[in-house]
């Protein structure tokens, strides 16, 4: 039977089919345009189960509707948002669809295959970061009583916008308290019981594949398998010992013992031997000892005793420059250097100690010169609260060196000096970045609150600007300073969130002074206006244009590149509120019909590290 759903078909006068994406657990999935949301892309999942018999069909439909109910209650930035479920009749046959947000990006399967073509694989650091980014998502769904049941590289997408893994295809989700399998066993017939045993062979644990038994640790098992596939480039069938059905992966790769042990516990053949919650795995990863993660800067055993790490009381890294006289006189430095030279001359230390030596000696003067007094003086000159700054520097330090959280090194070791220099290097860069803020914005760091956000909203209303447009400008300045951060993340409540609010303070000043705000007025009898400008790195500008409803609007931004980004927002009074007609569009153009009269906002921001000229063309046709 030919598929009656084809590209170009419009369902319910709303969803225009673009192409088929593949087959899900219950049927096909399609990429579509939502004509009610300005041609925004979305995913339609068709209900077309491969089952026989009225009872099987009924139970499958119940599962499909249950999936919609589960997706509806999941609200997480790393899970596609659920929009609606609808029925549609085509050629006399009824169809059932659910609609989800479209996630732009590549699956980890595609990323892995691309790397293999270049003779590369995922590194241990990348996989550890991947686990730390995805485990909170599993913790979230598990706390809601949901188990994904089908985690694999095919069902994970690295989202283009924020470079975070997104968990897709919840065709296998099941609320843990339901016992659908037993219902089928008692009431159903034929092959239907197998329909509940979802999961990919090799990725799902044995009890899930054979018996349909699932728990939270089933997802953790599949996640560990996925991590091994990314590390080795091999499918599970090549990593499993077929005699006892246990993973035998250590002969394929060499990773730190701590991460290896964590993966082994996630992969335990007996469910009772595994981690039972995602939180337990997160805590285990956070507590990974630095003794196996120092890589090229790891000192040899006879220079630093790794046993000291767990025996010294926990303290914040920021306390090092505050409470301890860590910068010693030249005689102590000479002694430390002499010890290192003597040991190195004896041989047997290897290239790791050599790299330690190079980094240590090359930065010796930097360590001596970066005294706590000098940093304190600079912070005082800039009007930055010292206690806040140390918490911010700690946040960046632990983000870069997560293995050091909760640990302290003896100040009698050379490694201590190296870590001290690393902290100061981060603090120095942070100070340079904060210096670019206005003095008024810097002085309030550590004291911003939600009251400031409420005040900005009131000011934005008077300017006819939406929060989305305001955030775009603030994000541009923020990402220019902190390129490792991502747009759209909720930072309020974190030390780095204070910096975002400081940048927002300067953004508001730019809008109120009209430096970054301009109204576009169409010349009488003309339907087209063009505005030109130049943006410095991290700068942005908002253009306001009053438009009537039911006008055909064409917008084009030149150059058409990722160096300059375009967002369009409808008037503030538009209901339902929209996240934007387009946001940071890579195509930098849009065409559609206006839905209401009012000030439309056209946001242009720089994504370049150089000054960039642009041209914005607006064409409004009645």
Other Cβ atoms within 10 Å of 242 Cβ, number: 8
Q: Among candidates 403, 419, 139, 427, which has minimal Cα distance to 281?
A: 139
Q: Specify the length of the chain in residues.
A: 622
* Residue 171 · residue 150 · CB < 8 Å: yes
Give the whole-angstrom CA distance, residue 282 versus residue 139.
10
State yes or no: is 150 an active-site residue: yes
The token pair that represents 122 in the structure block: 């995922």
Other Cβ atoms within 10 Å of 493 Cβ, number: 10
Give the whole-angstrom CA distance, residue 601 versus residue 618.
11
- In order, the DSSP letters of 17-52 are EEEEEEE-SSSEEEEEEEGGGTTEEEEEEE------
* Residue 486 · residue 159 · CB < 8 Å: no
Give the whole-angstrom CA distance, residue 438 versus residue 436.
7
C-alpha distances out from residue 97 to 21, 27, 67, Å: 14, 10, 11
- Residue 81 is given by DSSP the state P
Give the whole-angstrom CA distance, residue 40 versus residue 37.
6
**b/e per residue 584-605 (b: at least 16 CB within 10 A):** bbeebebebebbeebbbbbbbb
CA-angle at 398, arms to 393 and 402, nearest 5°: 170
The token pair that represents 568 in the structure block: 């369009």
- In order, the DSSP letters of 102-139 are PPPEEEHHHHHHHHHHTT----HHHHHHHHHHHHHHHH
Give the whole-angstrom CA distance, residue 411 versus residue 429.
24
Give the whole-angstrom CA distance, residue 571 versus residue 512.
19
Which residue in this structure is represented by tokens 């018996």? Answer: 211
Give the whole-angstrom CA distance, residue 79 versus residue 69.
14
Helix or strand holding residue 443 (H, E):
helix 439-443
Which of the following is catalytic: 150, 219, 394, 472? Answer: 150
Helix or strand holding residue 207 (H, E):
helix 206-211
- In order, the DSSP letters of 263-316 are HHHHT-SSGGGS-SSHHHHHHHHHT--GGGT-GGGPPPTTTS-TTHHHHSPP--
Give the whole-angstrom CA distance, residue 192 versus residue 432.
64
Q: Among candidates 108, 163, 166, which has minimal Cα distance to 137?
A: 166
Give the whole-angstrom CA distance, residue 518 versus residue 536.
17
* Residue 153 · residue 112 · CB < 8 Å: yes
Which residue in this structure is represented by tokens 């549609």? Answer: 88
Active site residues: 150
């Amino acid at each position: 039977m030919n598929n009656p759903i084809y590209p170009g078909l419009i369902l319910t006068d709303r969803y225009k089919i673009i192409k088929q994406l593949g087959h899900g657990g219950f049927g096909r999935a399609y990429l579509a345009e939502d004509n009610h949301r300005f041609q925004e892309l979305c995913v339609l999942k068709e209900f077309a189960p491969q089952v026989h018999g009225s009872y099987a069909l009924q139970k499958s439909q119940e599962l499909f509707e249950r999936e919609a109910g589960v997706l509806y209650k999941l609200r997480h930035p790393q899970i596609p948002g659920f929009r609606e479920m609808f029925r549609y009749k085509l050629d006399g046959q009824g169809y059932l669809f659910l609609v989800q947000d479209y996630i732009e990006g590549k699956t980890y399967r595609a990323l892995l295959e691309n790397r293999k073509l270049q003779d590369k694989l995922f590194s241990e650091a990348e996989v550890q970061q991947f686990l730390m980014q995805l485990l909170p998502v599993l913790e979230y769904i598990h706390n809601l009583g949901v188990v994904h049941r089908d985690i694999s590289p095919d069902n994970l997408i690295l989202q283009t916008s924020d470079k975070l893994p997104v968990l897709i295809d919840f065709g296998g989700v099941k609320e843990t308290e339901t016992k659908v399998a037993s219902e089928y066993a008692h009431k159903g017939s034929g092959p239907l019981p197998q329909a509940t045993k979802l999961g990919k062979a090799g990725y799902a644990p044995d009890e899930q594949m054979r018996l349909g038994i699932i728990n939270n640790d089933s997802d953790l098992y599949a996640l560990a398998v996925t991590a091994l596939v990314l590390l080795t480039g091999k499918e599970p069938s090549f990593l499993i010992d077929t005699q006892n059905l246990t993973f035998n992966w250590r002969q394929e790769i060499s990773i730190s013992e701590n991460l290896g042990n964590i993966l082994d516990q996630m992969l335990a053949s007996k469910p009772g031997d595994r981690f039972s919650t995602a939180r337990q795995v997160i805590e285990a990863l956070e507590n990974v000892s630095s003794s196996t993660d120092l890589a090229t800067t790891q000192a040899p055993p006879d220079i630093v005793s790794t046993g000291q790490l767990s025996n010294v009381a926990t303290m914040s890294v920021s306390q090092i420059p505050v409470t301890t006289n860590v910068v010693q006189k030249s005689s102590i430095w000479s002694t430390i250097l002499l010890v290192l030279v003597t040991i190195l001359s004896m041989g047997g230390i290897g290239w790791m100690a050599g790299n330690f030596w190079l980094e240590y000696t090359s930065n010796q003067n930097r360590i001596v010169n970066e005294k706590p007094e000098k940093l304190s003086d600079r912070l005082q000159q800039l009007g930055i609260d010292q206690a806040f700054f140390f918490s911010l520097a700690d946040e960046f330090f632990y983000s870069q060196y997560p293995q050091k959280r909760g640990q302290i090194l003896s100040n009698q070791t050379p490694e201590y000096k190296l870590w001290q220099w690393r902290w100061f290097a981060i603090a120095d860069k942070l100070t340079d970045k904060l210096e670019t803020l206005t003095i008024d914005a810097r002085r309030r760091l550590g004291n911003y609150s939600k009251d400031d956000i409420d005040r900005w909203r009131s000011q934005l209303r008077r300017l006819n600007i939406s929060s989305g447009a305001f955030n775009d400008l603030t994000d541009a300045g923020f990402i220019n300073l902190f390129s490792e951060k991502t747009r759209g993340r909720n930072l309020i409540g974190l030390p780095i969130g204070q910096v975002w609010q400081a940048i927002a303070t300067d953004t508001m000043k730019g809008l109120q002074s009209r430096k970054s705000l301009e109204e576009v007025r169409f010349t009488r009898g003309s339907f087209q206006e063009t505005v030109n400008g130049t943006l410095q790195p991290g700068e942005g500008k908002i253009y306001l244009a009053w438009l009537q409803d039911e006008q055909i609007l064409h917008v084009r931004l030149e150059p058409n590149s990722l160096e300059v980004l375009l967002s369009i927002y409808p008037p503030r009074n538009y209901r339902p509120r929209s996240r934007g007609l387009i946001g940071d569009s890579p195509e930098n153009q849009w065409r559609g019909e206006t839905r209401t009269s009012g000030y439309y906002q056209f946001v242009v921001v720089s994504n370049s590290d150089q000054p960039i000229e642009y041209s914005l063309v607006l064409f409004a046709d009645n």
